[in-house]
A and B are shown apart, each in its own frame.
Chain A
Amino acid sequence: MAEWAVFVVCALAAVAAAVAVFRVDSMARATFALLASFVFTAVPVLLLDLAYLGVLIVLMMTMEMVVMAVFMIMFMMNPAGLMPMTMVHNNKGALAISGAVFCVLAAGALLVPWPREPAPPPPADPTLQLGKAIMGGHMMVMMVAGLVLFATMVAGVVLATGRGRYDRYGDDLRGRPDDPIRGGVGR
């Protein structure tokens, strides 16, 4: 009963915080509303005996949202919400589409005949189960994940670099760089 009460409170808070992301004027506040939504969502995951994944969600989302807050202040206009403004397009269409998607998904969740017999008891240590899986039968998933993360790091640096070596040396990499500040130690 207590678990159910915690779930209901956290679920309602998670959805409310998610709605607040797109309602508040300040983009910095929107970032922290999203963080609140993620944290409230992690609590139901913890209720499912997934201690490792729940804590991972909280830690990862906290760091992500802090980085996102920095980006908000760097790039976005009106980060503090001092001037009330709306930056939306096709608001009614988006509301209609998302409402329809929610109705379809909710109908699926309520109408699908989910198995009624009690599920087998969860493993004593779900983290051990996950660890054995990614080091055993699901190792290929994790190997691909490692490659994807490496490619993401390389692509992210290439995209975010303002002035790469082709900009400095020319297309054939044989020109002389016209750096505004020369490198080296002046020798």
Chain B
Amino acid sequence: MLEAFLLLAAALLAVGLYGALSQQSVVMVMMGLELMINAVMVAAAAVWFHTSPQLPDGQVLVLVAMLAMAVEMAMGFAAAIAIFRARDVDVTDSAGDLRG
């Protein structure tokens, strides 16, 4: 059963990674990142339940992942608003200032 949960997490993480790498829209990139964090939450919950349910560490990790998701969304939207207001940009290809 643990393997099934981890396969679900791997599939969600792969789909999210595809979105984060391929999408041009800033908000769609954020959706990909959220899917990846969601995969981490599923994997942490499953490993907690199947290996060490007597310890609370797995649950705390899920809570921290949820916090990371909230921070990512809040800061992502704030940055999207700032760059849209400054340059009228809403796609990642137009915001490549740090491109090497």
Interface residues of B in 1-44 (CB under 8 A from A): 1-19, 21-25, 27-28, 30-32, 34-35, 38, 41-42
Question: Is A120 in contact with B4, judged by CB distance below 8 angstroms?
Answer: no
Interface size on B, residues (CB 8 A): 70
Alpha-carbon distance between A137 and B69 when the two chains are bound, in angstroms: 23
Interface residues of A in 1-18 (CB under 8 A from B): 4, 7-8, 11, 14-15, 18
Contact string against B for A residues 122-142, beta-carbon threshold 8 Å, 1 for contact and 0 otherwise: 110010011011100110010
Question: Is A34 in contact with B35, judged by CB distance below 8 angstroms?
Answer: yes
Chain A residues with CB under 8 Å of B64's CB are: 141, 145
Contact string against B for A residues 45-62, beta-carbon threshold 8 Å, 1 for contact and 0 otherwise: 100111001001100100
Contact string against B for A residues 1-42, beta-carbon threshold 8 Å, 1 for contact and 0 otherwise: 000100110010011001101100001001100100110010
Q: Do A160 and B81 form a contact, CB below 8 Å, given A18-B16, A95-B18, A134-B60?
A: yes
Looking at the complex, which one of A19, A68, A108, A114 makes contact with B50 (CB distance below 8 Å)? Answer: A114
Which of the listed residues B34, B45, B46, B51 has the most CB atoms from chain A within 10 Å of its own CB? B45
Question: Is B35 in contact with A119, judged by CB distance below 8 angstroms?
Answer: no
Looking at the complex, which one of A64, A75, A123 makes contact with B53 (CB distance below 8 Å)? Answer: A123
Question: Is B56 in contact with A133, judged by CB distance below 8 angstroms?
Answer: yes
Question: Is A155 in contact with B24, judged by CB distance below 8 angstroms?
Answer: no
Question: Is A105 in contact with B21, judged by CB distance below 8 angstroms?
Answer: no
Question: Is A133 in contact with B22, judged by CB distance below 8 angstroms?
Answer: no
Question: Is A30 in contact with B73, judged by CB distance below 8 angstroms?
Answer: no
CB distance from B55 to the nearest CB of A (A): 9
CB distance from A40 to the nearest CB of B (A): 10
Which of the listed residues B4, B13, B78 has the most CB atoms from chain A within 10 Å of its own CB? B78
- The reply to whether the CB of A170 lies closer than 8 angstroms to some CB of chain B is no
Question: Is B53 in contact with A120, judged by CB distance below 8 angstroms?
Answer: yes
Enumerate chain A interface residues (CB-CB to B < 8 A).
4, 7-8, 11, 14-15, 18-19, 21-22, 27, 30-31, 34, 37-38, 41, 44-45, 48-50, 53, 56-57, 60, 64, 67-68, 71-72, 75-77, 87-91, 93-95, 97-99, 101-102, 105-106, 108-110, 114-115, 119-123, 126, 129-130, 132-134, 137-138, 141, 145, 148-149, 152-153, 155-157, 159-160, 162
Q: What are 8 A-B pairs with beta-carbon distances under 8 A?
A: A37-B35, A41-B12, A44-B5, A44-B46, A57-B66, A60-B69, A155-B75, A159-B79
